[in-house]
Amino acid sequence: MTQAIPEQSFELGLAGKAAVVTGAGAGIGQAIAVALARVGVSVGLVEIDPERAASTLEILERRAARRWCW
């Protein structure tokens, strides 16, 4: 089960950049992927478990975030 991620705002000048997040299917990896997407980063997800990857992709799709998955 995915926990809600608080709507905190941070700006690090990352909008328009790209990042690859390993372990993005759950926990800290998922939280980082969602937080980066929230500030306009294109996020690449690396996850060994396809079901977990799909969960994070679904979250990012709802936010219309730019994403890709390996």
Residue 53's pLDDT is 92
Q: Parse the chain into domains and list their residue ranges.
A: 18-69
CA 47 to chain centre: 11
- Is it the case that residue 2 has pLDDT exceeding 80? no
Residue 26's pLDDT is 95
- Is it the case that residue 4 has pLDDT exceeding 70? no
Q: What is the pTM of this model?
A: 0.76
Cα distance between the two ends of the chain: 21
Give CA–CA dist 22/66, Å, rounded: 16
Give CA–CA dist 14/40, Å, rounded: 7
Give CA–CA dist 63/46, Å, rounded: 19
* pLDDT tens-place string over residues 8-50: 555 678 888 899 999 999 999 999 999 999 888 989 999 999 9
Residue 39's pLDDT is 87
